[in-house]
Amino acid sequence: MNIRVGQGYDVHQLKEGHPFWLGGIQIDHTHGAVGHSDADVLIHVICDALLGAANLRDIGFHFSDKDAQYKGIDSKILLKKTLELIRDKGYEVGNIDTTVCLQAPKLNPYIPDIKTCLAGVIGTDMDNISVKATTTEKLGFVGRKEGVSAYATVLIYKK
C-alpha cells in the first residue's frame, strides 16, 4: 500500500465583529478570524496537509489570496477542490488529526458538529477525523485572544 503523510499549520488574526468559521460551521462569538476567504483556520490546515502529503505544494499556491475569485469564499469549497486535486493523483484520505489553539470560546461543545461537517465534505466516516482543542494558558497571541492557530496531520493512501 502506498501511503503518505502531510502536515499543516495556519494562523488567523481575530477581530471583533467578524464571523467565526471553524471546521465548516459558524460559531457564535464576539470575535472572528480575518482572512481573504472565510478564514476557517481548521479547513485551511487540513487543505495544506492534504496538498503536502500529495506533493501538490500548498493552499496559497492553489487558492491565492491575490485572486478575487476566492474573496470571502466558503472554505468547504476549497476543501472540496483540494480533495479533487489529491484524488486526481489517485489518493484517498485515510485519517486526519487536528489541533486548534484558541483561548476562547471553548470548542468542546462544537467538536461533534465540526466532525460531522468535515466528514460530510470529505466523504469519510467521522471516526477518521480527530479534532482537538487547547488553549495556550494565556500565553502569546493566542493567549491574548489576538488570534487562532491550528495544526493538522493527515494520512493519504493510493487507491
Task: Please report, in range form, the residues annotated as the binding site for a divalent metal cation.
Answer: 10, 12, 44
Q: How far is CA 53 from the centre of its chain?
A: 15
**Residue positions forming the annotated binding site:** 10-12, 36-37, 44, 58-60, 63-67, 134-137, 141, 144
Do residues 149 and 9 make contact, with C-beta atoms less than 8 angstroms apart? yes
Residue 138: DSSP 8-state: T
As a three-state string, the secondary structure of 93-114 is EEEEEEEEECCCCCCHHHHHHH
Do residues 10 and 150 make contact, with C-beta atoms less than 8 angstroms apart? yes
At residue 137, the 3 state secondary structure works out as coil
